[in-house]
Chain A
Amino acid sequence: MNTFGQNIKEDFIIENGFVCVNHSSFGFVPKQVFQLRIQHYTKFLQNPDRFTKIDYPKYTIEIRKTAAEFLNADFNQCMLTSNSAEAFNSIIRNLGLTENDTILYFSTAYPMVQNTIQFMTSNYNVKQNRIELKRQHLEKQKILSLFEKQLKTQKITIAVFDNISAQPSLIMPIKELISLCKKYNVISIVDAAHGAGITVLDIKDLDPDFLFTNFNKWAFCPSGINILYLKEQYLNKIHHNTISVNYGNGLAKECEFSGTKDFSLSLSLIDGVNFIKKYGLNQIIKYSEDLAWEGANLVAQIWQTELLVNDKSMHSAMVNVRIPHQDQNYCRECQKKCFEKYNVFLVVFKYDDLNWSRLSASLYNTIADYEYAARCYLKVLKGEE
């Protein structure tokens, strides 16, 4: 696809000379989105009274409607938050959970999610049920089977699971997981931090109790813009995690204003979605997924190692490759050295006793990026730099 790759790279805000193989942590934005962002920002700063009192209440409707349409959800059930942490904290801490409740989650859940669950245990004695996913379990049917076993044999109140996990990164079978939750009368929370822009999310079809997704990871918005979706029945129950002037005025109002901040930022959601529409979501997903797969396989070849999971269908635009070294600390040191010396950042993490790297792909990436990343990191690992 000629549109993507080297041709489009100059349309992106990326540091000159930086080889990016980690789009997924924070996202990178197109220049046109950034230019519009500066326009919105300046407008806000030039007259914040006008912006917050007159313009912003109208903008938030437009922003939420754009997001809702993009995710196929009702806009009344879509709220603007800054990031997944705010969204998840707002949900979990307002469900009235006690020692009579149990939260089910996978060992691959993002640290923020695990920490928030731990907080609920420490402060409210809420019980936890953690499903250990080891390498041998990383198959759709096994994941579902382990999940259903817990729902069947334990009294679970809530289940949290990723749309696409972070480390290691895999597509989770959320449709089936949500169905299982309904079958066993469990509240479902989908952590779709990795979601909008890299998955075709159809919330009406999925029908979870809660779902939150970042627009700055894969939907070409600057950090941090997040949409929290919830079923109607929770609209009067959930409060924004930060109590502020709109507390009690409805969740939409609470999310609209939860303290002063840069109110112009969320306008970039519309610009990011427009960028996606320009190229087509399906085209973007295909390019990114194919390249991540091809790139990661090349890395595995250069490192003479292997992928964590060999099934392409379990991957989005992030793939995990085994690092040819046993010492986690050493791998991290090399990550830093590689970054400083070769201007390429590799995500490095430990999983099931081995060290892995996660490679991501976006529109501006080409196969050369993965070759470069693989060779540079290997040099550093071998002390040859």
Chain B
Amino acid sequence: MIKSFGKELKEDFVIESGYTCVNHSSFGYIPKCVLKQRIENQLRFLQNPDSFIRYQIPKESPIVRKTAAEFLNANYNQCFFSSNSAESMNSIIKNLGLSDKDTILYLNIAYPMVQNVVKYMNTNHKVNVCRIELKVEDLKNEIILQQIEENMKTKKITVAILDNISSLPSIKLPTKEFVELCKKYDVISIIDGAHGAGISEINLKELDPDFFFTNLNKWAFCPCSVNLLYMKEKYLNQIHNNTISVFYGAGIEKEFEYYGTRDSSVILSVIDGINYINQFGLKQIIQYCENLAWEGSELVAKIWETELLVKDKTMHSAMVNVLIPHKDHSYILECQKTCFEKYNVFVVAFEFDGRSWARFSASLYNYLEDYEYAAKQFLNVLKKEG
């Protein structure tokens, strides 16, 4: 008997008792059944690591990669597991042979890790950068694409990076059109799909980017953290794992299978997470989460008497941004802390285009009251009434 989403499902998840979670997206929360299996896998590894690392992982890793690849409609021999998006992004960018003759294009709303990697390439390898500045009014597909194309037309861009779904602020980006533009102007496309698997319907064969990486722990119910790195075949001999280790030069598959002692048993949970999704159906999950994130955020905006950052529902996944009714961001961060300690709810707060915004996420165990609670308590603290 499958439980329905919302309150009923919450007890199936590993969530601190009494905690109101409106930020599923940063790290992800997992079902109890996934944790149970994870601990068993970990025990199996620890009981006989020689067996596990030397014999079992080489056998099981391709199977897990196949499951994940199938989930994203890609070839498994182009898919590899890393620990996180940072490892994937570092592995890509540092191995493209970029120099002062190259230019990287990215948006101002790119995740800080991506921006830092670009900065590193600029500082250490003199790679040129082209940063597109988006303001609130620019957060529309047509404008974003137009700005990207304008830059690709007028400058010689080597590599372009785009989020699948951005973090702060969080909106869906037009990845399909982006990849087409990259092909048109002969630009290498990298899609930061950190927010991707489990909350987007990803079809890599159709999308056909040069590179794509996605976390399995944010939305695909895998414990923190596992990342899948996809690349076109032509890069398989060029890209190396950012961490040089014993399998350097033995082929990219080996380089990602083992790159230093770690608990690689975590990748086995990828199958458990995907099975959990398939139990309900990805479409059903996406629909519930997107609708609730929207409804919940509109309720927050009502309670706060403010507004959503972007008023177009189609531009959102299961994360929506709401204007915070205060101008001092330092004060807001203090309130975030107080609200967390006092009311056991963590509200993501960030600055964008001169204002402060909150980001609300929704997953299967969330229900509308979570957002009402978060909104009211945060407001109480803001007004010093809490």
In the complex, are the beta carbons of B48 and A116 less than 8 A apart? no
Which single residue of chain A is at the shortest CB-CB distance from B116? A247
* Complex interface residues of chain B between 63 and 82 (CB less than 8 A to chain A): none
In the complex, are the beta carbons of A45 and B50 less than 8 A apart? no
With A115-B249, A242-B90 known as contacts, the answer to whether A82 contacts B244 (CB < 8 A) is no
Q: Is A303 an interface residue (CB 8 A)?
A: no
A318 to B16 CA separation, bound complex (whole angstroms): 44
Shortest Cβ distance from residue A306 to the other chain B in the assembled complex, whole angstroms: 25
Q: Is A22 an interface residue (CB 8 A)?
A: yes
Q: Is A261 an interface residue (CB 8 A)?
A: yes
In the complex, are the beta carbons of A13 and B46 less than 8 A apart? yes
Shortest Cβ distance from residue A225 to the other chain B in the assembled complex, whole angstroms: 9
With A46-B19, A47-B19 known as contacts, the answer to whether A82 contacts B262 (CB < 8 A) is yes
With A242-B86, A243-B90, A259-B87 known as contacts, the answer to whether A42 contacts B35 (CB < 8 A) is yes
Which single residue of chain B is at the shortest CB-CB distance from A246? B116
A339 to B51 CA separation, bound complex (whole angstroms): 8
0/1 per residue, A82-98, Cβ < 8 Å to B?
Answer: 11111001000000000
A247 to B113 CA separation, bound complex (whole angstroms): 8
Shortest Cβ distance from residue A357 to the other chain B in the assembled complex, whole angstroms: 13
Interface stretch of the complex, out of B3-11, B21-29, B283-291, B317-325: B21-29
Which chain B residues border A260 with CB–CB below 8 Å? Answer: 27, 83-86, 215, 217, 224-225
In the complex, are the beta carbons of A261 and B15 less than 8 A apart? no
In the complex, are the beta carbons of B248 and A118 less than 8 A apart? yes
In the complex, are the beta carbons of A223 and B49 less than 8 A apart? yes
Which chain A residues border B35 with CB–CB below 8 Å? Answer: 42, 45
Which single residue of chain B is at the shortest CB-CB distance from A52? B27
In the complex, are the beta carbons of B39 and A38 less than 8 A apart? yes
In the complex, are the beta carbons of B261 and A26 less than 8 A apart? yes
In the complex, are the beta carbons of B51 and A262 less than 8 A apart? no
Which chain A residues border B90 with CB–CB below 8 Å? Answer: 241-243
In the complex, are the beta carbons of A245 and B340 less than 8 A apart? no
A179 to B49 CA separation, bound complex (whole angstroms): 37
A118 to B47 CA separation, bound complex (whole angstroms): 34
With A48-B224, A247-B120, A259-B83 known as contacts, the answer to whether A18 contacts B262 (CB < 8 A) is no
Shortest Cβ distance from residue B328 to the other chain A in the assembled complex, whole angstroms: 20
User: For this complex, into which size category does the number of interface residues on chain A fall?
Assistant: 35 or more
Q: Is B266 an interface residue (CB 8 A)?
A: yes
Partner of B340, one of A18, A27, A50, A339: A50
Q: Is A49 an interface residue (CB 8 A)?
A: yes
Q: Is B112 an interface residue (CB 8 A)?
A: yes
A34 to B120 CA separation, bound complex (whole angstroms): 38
In the complex, are the beta carbons of A46 and B260 less than 8 A apart? no
Shortest Cβ distance from residue A282 to the other chain B in the assembled complex, whole angstroms: 26
* Complex interface residues of chain B between 93 and 123 (CB less than 8 A to chain A): 111-113, 116-117, 119-120
Shortest Cβ distance from residue A298 to the other chain B in the assembled complex, whole angstroms: 21
A110 to B16 CA separation, bound complex (whole angstroms): 43
In the complex, are the beta carbons of A116 and B261 less than 8 A apart? no
In the complex, are the beta carbons of B87 and A245 less than 8 A apart? no
A271 to B86 CA separation, bound complex (whole angstroms): 29
Q: Is A143 an interface residue (CB 8 A)?
A: no
Which chain A residues border B308 with CB–CB below 8 Å? Answer: none
0/1 per residue, A225-251, Cβ < 8 Å to B?
Answer: 000000000000000011111011000
Q: Please report whether the interface of chain B is mostly helix, strand, loop or mixed according to DSSP.
A: loop
Count: A-B pairs, CB below 8 Å: 173
In the complex, are the beta carbons of A248 and B116 less than 8 A apart? yes
Partner of B47, one of A15, A50, A245: A15
Partner of B113, one of A29, A116, A244: A244
Q: Is A131 an interface residue (CB 8 A)?
A: no
Which chain A residues border B262 with CB–CB below 8 Å? Answer: 82-83, 223-224
* Complex interface residues of chain B between 1 and 60 (CB less than 8 A to chain A): 14-16, 19, 23, 26-30, 35, 39, 42-43, 45-51, 53-55
Q: Is B238 an interface residue (CB 8 A)?
A: no
Which single residue of chain A is at the shortest CB-CB distance from B194? A260
With A241-B243, A259-B86 known as contacts, the answer to whether A18 contacts B47 (CB < 8 A) is yes
Partner of A119, one of B85, B248, B260: B248
Which single residue of chain B is at the shortest CB-CB distance from A82? B262
In the complex, are the beta carbons of B120 and A26 less than 8 A apart? no
In the complex, are the beta carbons of B49 and A49 less than 8 A apart? no
Q: Is A72 an interface residue (CB 8 A)?
A: no
In the complex, are the beta carbons of A89 and B244 less than 8 A apart? yes
With A242-B86, A245-B113 known as contacts, the answer to whether A50 contacts B263 (CB < 8 A) is no
Q: Is B178 an interface residue (CB 8 A)?
A: no
Q: Is A129 an interface residue (CB 8 A)?
A: no
Partner of B23, one of A26, A49, A110, A261: A49
In the complex, are the beta carbons of B260 and A86 less than 8 A apart? yes
Shortest Cβ distance from residue B39 to the other chain A in the assembled complex, whole angstroms: 6
Which single residue of chain A is at the shortest CB-CB distance from B345? A49
In the complex, are the beta carbons of A243 and B263 less than 8 A apart? no
Shortest Cβ distance from residue A192 to the other chain B in the assembled complex, whole angstroms: 14
Shortest Cβ distance from residue B63 to the other chain A in the assembled complex, whole angstroms: 20
In the complex, are the beta carbons of A242 and B116 less than 8 A apart? no
A239 to B49 CA separation, bound complex (whole angstroms): 31
Which chain B residues border A25 with CB–CB below 8 Å? Answer: 49-50
With A26-B53, A50-B340, A115-B245 known as contacts, the answer to whether A243 contacts B46 (CB < 8 A) is no
Which single residue of chain B is at the shortest CB-CB distance from A347? B50
A53 to B23 CA separation, bound complex (whole angstroms): 13
Which single residue of chain B is at the shortest CB-CB distance from A262? B224
Partner of A26, one of B50, B117, B249: B50
Which chain A residues border B350 with CB–CB below 8 Å? Answer: none
Shortest Cβ distance from residue B265 to the other chain A in the assembled complex, whole angstroms: 9
Which chain A residues border B260 with CB–CB below 8 Å? Answer: 82-86, 112, 224
Which chain B residues border A116 with CB–CB below 8 Å? Answer: 244-245, 248
A241 to B91 CA separation, bound complex (whole angstroms): 10
Q: Is A366 an interface residue (CB 8 A)?
A: no
Partner of B49, one of A26, A54, A110: A26
In the complex, are the beta carbons of A222 and B245 less than 8 A apart? no
Partner of A261, one of B48, B120, B225: B225
A28 to B48 CA separation, bound complex (whole angstroms): 8
Across the A-B interface, the 6 shortest Cβ-Cβ residue pairs: A259-B86, A85-B260, A259-B84, A83-B260, A26-B49, A48-B27
Give me 8 A-to-B residue pairs in the complex whose CB atoms sit less than 8 angstroms apart, sorted by A's number.
A22-B50, A26-B50, A45-B29, A84-B260, A223-B49, A242-B242, A244-B116, A259-B86
Instruction: Kindly list 18 other residue pairs between chains A and B, CB separation below 8 angstroms, not including A13-B47, A34-B43, A50-B340.
Output: A15-B47, A28-B49, A47-B16, A48-B224, A82-B261, A83-B260, A86-B243, A112-B245, A115-B245, A115-B249, A118-B249, A222-B42, A241-B242, A245-B86, A247-B113, A258-B86, A260-B225, A262-B224
Residues in A lying within 8 Å of B, measured CB to CB:
13-15, 18, 22, 25-29, 34, 38, 42, 44-50, 52-54, 82-86, 89, 110-112, 115-116, 118-119, 214, 216, 222-224, 241-245, 247-248, 258-263, 265, 336, 339, 345
